[in-house]
Amino acid sequence: MRRWLGGERSLAHLNALAEERSLATESGRPVRFVPPGAKDAYYEVQVYETGRVQTRPGSLHDYFNAMAWLAFPRTKARINAMHAAQIPLEGGRRGRLRDLLTIFDEGGAIVHCDDEALLSLMRTFEWKRLLWENRERVRQAMRVVVVGHAVLEQALEPYLGITCKSIVVGRDADSDSAAHAWLQNVRPGASPRILAPLPVFGLPGWHAGSARAEFYDDQRYFRPAAVKSQVESARQPLGASTEESPGSAERDAG
């Protein structure tokens, strides 16, 4: 894994930015980025109760997590509060709602779009029609903001198949406020299926292959609508694994 050496990526600098922006959990604790401590099975509870976000020196995964806190403070605080509220109810097993939260936290994206024709193509997995035949319309009418810190890390060394799980909001909405509002309306029994898959590597201009029509014919990466019934509309909050600690599969999912 790539590493950083002090400077703008140091914990001191991240904490200066956090203090400048008055970053806080929903419990009112100031968010501070700290070196890893004792292994804690309930990472999200620890963050909620103390505001201390364990951040491994040299880990770009953790660095992008810190950057997500800085860029999407309300969204990250809401995700953390929802985790903390659910954990005592789960008996040590992560349920569907926390799966949803983890997937969005690690691999989520916010699709800003009011064009119903484009959104219909997205929801029915008609990727070639969306990303090739309507590529100029996508450029003009659809804006994608990546929230997931695992995806941001993967984008440093991009590969075919990187996919986000997304929500859809208005074209001109503020990303952080819109995602926070969406999360507030998620039903307690919601599952990851309410998040719409989006093959971000296929967005026009993202990958060199996107300049060719046949790029979008590879169904290994641009999966067809055969599974579309499993995904509900992402515009509304159409809305179990063992608890793990920072640095575990839960943090690295996505």
Query: Of the candidates 231, 251, 228, which has an alpha carbon nearest to the alpha carbon of residue 190?
Result: 231
**Which residues of 114-225 form beta strands (DSSP E)?**
142-146, 164-169, 196-198
pLDDT in tens, the chain (254 residues): 344 434 467 899 999 999 999 999 999 999 999 999 877 668 999 999 999 999 998 899 999 999 999 999 999 999 999 999 999 988 778 889 999 999 999 999 999 999 999 999 999 999 999 999 999 999 999 999 999 999 999 988 888 889 999 999 999 999 999 999 999 999 988 999 999 999 999 999 988 889 999 999 999 999 887 544 444 444 443 333 333 323 333 333 32
Model confidence, pTM: 0.85
DSSP letter string over 90-142? TTTEE-HHHHHHHHHHHHEEEEEE--HHHHHHHHTT-HHIIIIITHHHHHHHE
